[in-house]
Structure 1
Amino acid sequence: MLMPRQQAPELVLDTLAGGPFRLADDAPERMTLLCFYRGLHCPICATYLKELERLTPSFAERGVSTIAISSDGEERARAMAEKIGAANLRIGYGLSLAKAREWGLYVSASRGKTSIGIEEPALFSEPGLFLIRPDNTVYYLSVQSMPFVRPNFAEMVQALDFVIKNSYPARGEYTGPLQEQPA
């Protein structure tokens, strides 16, 4: 299980921008935001990624680079980029399902065509959102088993202002023994 303040798994992907994305080499001022999405077949993903595209400049102002990632191939990734009007948001593609599991993402099996008439891949990963520090440690993570009710990007931008101002540490890092607390 991935834990805050511990090393993130290695991540290397092709991008629509042409070159590979290497998490270890990304080197933003403060963090890299990794948005793992289900794929072109998911209408909720398209809406969610449009919001991330809109707010990518706000993240950049705070020293946070962004990338959206799926296990889709290049053609489907390009179709999603066109659908969301990606101009600022990097799009990574070809995430292996083994790598998705390494990141703690859930994997689902196809149920056929979605409500927008696009066939789901035989297997694909469910959503996850991560903030990774330049030292490659996990700062924040949210992993979902369903496409619904995802973390809000506008709230995350506001939270980053607090985090930056107060040098707020990653939380959820304790892995020691647990003792029951009195009620």
Structure 2
Amino acid sequence: MFVSVFVGGCAAVRERWADQAGHKQKIRFCYEAKRLIKRSIPKRRSYMLVPRQKIPNLSVPTLDQGPFDLSSETSQRGTVLCFYRGLHCPLCATYLKEFQALVKAFSERGVGTIAISSDGQERTQQMAQKIGVDGLRFGYDLPLSIARDWGLYISTSRGKTSIGIEEPKLFAEPGLFMVSPDQTLYYASVQTMPFVRPHFSELIGALDFVIANNYPARGEYTGPV
């Protein structure tokens, strides 16, 4: 009687051990599966620039003023960079005309200006002629890898636009930035579409307030929330 009880008790213990071992194996399997799945998913890089932090340097050729190197800019209060879609975009032409009209106003406030796209020299020249360029620098051949470093969105071609000009295979969507003389980000506005862009006249008004009140760049916090 005692022997049978002992043997039965040992069998029950072995069964519990087996259950526990099986449970541990299941846990280990699930852990390994999750690890492999996580490794197989491509990591998504964050391209968001942060105010008051250094921006990626930017060098592009320009139509008439030689190479543009952001790190070599000497404007007293910084540089406004307008990234536009390209010659194919009719809204960009309208937008750049507004920018062109206020180049002198920006300069009077100690701010440099440049318009940049991934278009080549020929298409950029056509855009400059289209808006009647007078003082606004035009940069071209922006590498899309650099555009992405700046947080710009990239679009694929949809063929000809409403003005009959073919979209490039890939191109950057609009973005407006102001970079301080110390090469840190002061202001940024990035669009996924050609619509609803910031008005340059409003930026001029904002600059007057910023200068009068020594207003700092905002949106700088990157800690836990």
* Matching residue within 162, 165, 168 for 1:115: 162
Identify the structure with the greater helix proportion.
Answer: 2
2:135 is the counterpart of 1:70: no
- TM-score (norm. length: structure 2): 0.78
Aligned to 1:31: 78
2:133 is the counterpart of 1:86: yes
Provide the C-alpha distance between the structure 1 equivalents of 2:74 and 2:152, rounded to a whole number of angstroms.
24
Name the count of aligned residue pairs: 178
**Displacement, 1:135?**
0.6
2:185 is the counterpart of 1:138: yes
Q: Compute the RMSD of aligned alpha carbons.
A: 0.6
* Matching residue within 7, 22, 27 for 2:69: 22
Q: Which runs of 4+ in 1 moved over 4 A?
A: none
2:157 is the counterpart of 1:102: no
* Matching residue within 83, 90, 104 for 1:43: 90
Instruction: Kindly provide the CA deviation profile for residues 27-69 of structure 1, in whole angstroms up to 9, marking residues without a partner as x.
Output: 1110100000000000000000000000110000000110000
Q: What 5-or-longer segments of structure 2 have no aligned partner?
A: 1-47
**Displacement, 1:88?**
1.1
Equivalent AA in structure 1 for residue 111 of structure 2? V
Q: What 5-or-longer segments of structure 1 have no aligned partner?
A: 179-183
Distance 1:18 1:162, change over 3 A: closer
Secondary structure of 2:60's match? Answer: strand
- Percent identity at matched positions? 66
Structure (1 or 2) with the larger CA radius of gyration: 2
Equivalent AA in structure 1 for residue 58 of structure 2? L
Identify the structure with the greater strand proportion.
Answer: 1
Provide the C-alpha distance between the structure 2 equivalents of 1:18 and 1:172, rounded to a whole number of angstroms.
33
The structure whose RCO (Cα within 8 Å, separation 6+) is larger is: 1
- TM-score (norm. length: structure 1): 0.96
